[in-house]
Amino acid sequence: MDLGIRGKKGLVCAASKGLGRACAEALAEAGVDLVVNARGAEALEATAQEIAARHGVAVTPVAADITTGEGRAAVLEALGGQADILVNNAGGPPPGTWTDWSREDFIKAIDANMLTAIALMQALVPGMMERGWGRVVNITSQSVRSPIAVLGLSNTARAGLTGFVAGMSRQVAPHGVVVNNLLPGIHATDRAVSLDSGVAKAEGIGLDEARRRREATIPTRSYGRPEDFGAACAFLCSQQARFMVGQNILLDGGALNVSV
Ligand code: NAP
């Protein structure tokens, strides 16, 4: 399927590896010129070069912490202040227990997984509205639908972003801007290895056994593949997604038993 977005300009945040990288790959395959971001310069440069070489699009790496004002300013400068497509992403907060988290922990999580995405939408969506076309995908989590107790910091921040998008996406839709959230269940990335390592340690089992036990809880009996996640993201950025507004789309292999 031709997604109809060849020649558009996009920003993918937190994209040197994992789900962000997969979104960047899929958008590049559709012909989108990209600015990609992550903190670690070396891995980011290599990712940008690989994607550009494979798909023949321009890929500009900006090594910066996207959760800081300076980081966002650097990324926006590389874009010349405008983009047609925005994929919001950042690392997830650490697990823990509800009694452990301080005000500072909450502020950090809310900054990373709520306010950063909102700031980038506030910076880039007005230009999309003026030009009459735009697409935004916020990578959130299945925990928005079914909160995971040990990920309370993530639950809190992502619930706030979800509420914001529910209102804002309807306000910008008349101007041709489509905003949606993509909710990953467990996917085979470094984040999954780190979550499984935590389980392995807590349960006194090996990493493989922790993964096997988690896979057994998923109807597909396997972890999601980043490339499939990226393809879903690219579709949400396509011309054909014009009628999908303000949705929270779950990619979890059927793990959550939700009827709507
Ligand atoms: P990942 O494989 O660990 O990759 C994270 C990427 O984000 C890396 O490129 C990392 O590069 C970059 N990054 C992290 N913090 C950043 C920051 N402050 N500024 C800029 N770049 C940053 O993680 P993932 O699995 O792709 O997860 C992506 C998001 O989806 C996370 O929020 C995660 O919580 C959520 N999620 C993932 C899963 C899953 O199963 N994978 C499930 C539910 C939700 P640097 O470290 O070099 O910055």
89 lines ligand 1 (CB under 6 A): yes
What's the confidence (pLDDT) of residue 172?
Answer: 98
| Sheet arrangement for strand 134-139 | 59-63, 33-38, 9-12, 85-88, 134-139, 177-184, 248-251
47 lines ligand 1 (CB under 6 A): no
Calculate what percentage of the chain has a pLDDT beyond 90: 97
72 lines ligand 1 (CB under 6 A): no
Closest to 28 measured CA to CA, from 45, 44, 42, 12 = 12
Whole-number Å distance, alpha carbon 204 to ligand 1 midpoint, is 26
Token pair for 68: 């800081």
254 lines ligand 1 (CB under 6 A): no
Whole-number Å distance, alpha carbon 20 to ligand 1 midpoint, is 7
Residues 184 and 224 sit within 8 Å (Cβ to Cβ): yes
Q: Is 5 exposed, middle or buried (0-12, 13-18, 19+ CB in 10 A)?
A: buried
For the entire predicted model, the pTM comes to 0.98
Closest Cα to atom 7, ligand 1: which residue? 14
Closest to 13 measured CA to CA, from 46, 44, 51, 56 = 44
- Pick from 110, 189, 211, 250 the residue to mutate for probing ligand 1's pocket: most ligand atoms within 8 Å of its CB: 189
pLDDT above 90 for 260: no
Q: Which residue has the tokens 């076309």?
A: 133
Neighbours of 211 (CB within 10 A): 20
Whole-number Å distance, alpha carbon 93 to ligand 1 midpoint, is 10
Whole-number Å distance, alpha carbon 175 to ligand 1 midpoint, is 31
In the chain the domains, ranked by start, together with CATH numbers, are 9-185+227-240 (3.40.50.720), 188-223 (no CATH)
Whole-number Å distance, alpha carbon 190 to ligand 1 midpoint, is 8
The H or E element spanning position 55 is: helix 41-55
* pLDDT per residue as tens digits for the range 166-190: 999 999 999 999 999 999 999 999 9
- Which 8-state DSSP code applies to residue 209? H
153 lines ligand 1 (CB under 6 A): no
What's the confidence (pLDDT) of residue 239?
Answer: 98
* pLDDT per residue as tens digits for the range 75-84: 999 999 999 9
196 lines ligand 1 (CB under 6 A): no
187 lines ligand 1 (CB under 6 A): yes
* pLDDT per residue as tens digits for the range 101-151: 999 999 999 999 999 999 999 999 999 999 999 999 999 999 999 999 999
pLDDT above 90 for 47: yes
